[in-house]
Amino acid sequence: MRTVAILVLVLSPAAFAQDVELRGGPGREVVGAKCAICHSLDYISMNSRFLNRAGWEKTVRKMIDVMGAPLEEKDVSVVLDYLAHSYGR
């Protein structure tokens, strides 16, 4: 059982994650702290060519409502403002 647990940790997506530097701007720290809890931050830049503010809002709401992202309502506008400004099309 211990071997299985070690393999899960070693082969998890986080083990392959590279350090991703988010673009500067207000809200960067909140996005980095909250989004990286569940997934690699490179998802942000990978999706940026497809999403405008409305798309980011739909994505963030899905992360909260469907995926259970631990994002408090007070932080939603901070995250959306940052994503729309720094990674919106």
CATH code of the domain in which 68 resides = 1.10.760.10
| Pairwise pLDDT comparison (1 vs 66), residue with the higher score | 66
What's the pLDDT tens digit per position in 37-68? 999 999 999 999 999 999 999 999 999 999 99
Within a domain: residue 16?
no
Q: Would you say residue 38 lies in a domain?
A: yes
Mean pLDDT of the chain: 86
Question: Is 17 inside a domain boundary?
Answer: no
What's the rounded Cα separation, in Å, for the pair 64 and 82? 17
Q: How far is CA 80 from CA 4, 9, 62, 66, 68, in A?
A: 38, 31, 13, 17, 17
Could you tell me the residue range of the domain that residue 37 belongs to?
A: 25-87
- How many domains does the chain divide into? 1
In a domain, 20, yes or no: no
Residue 8 lies in a domain: no
Is 60 inside a domain boundary? yes
Residue 49 in domain: yes
Evaluate whether residue 40 is within a structural domain. Answer: yes
* Distance from chain centroid for Cα 38: 7
Report pTM: 0.76
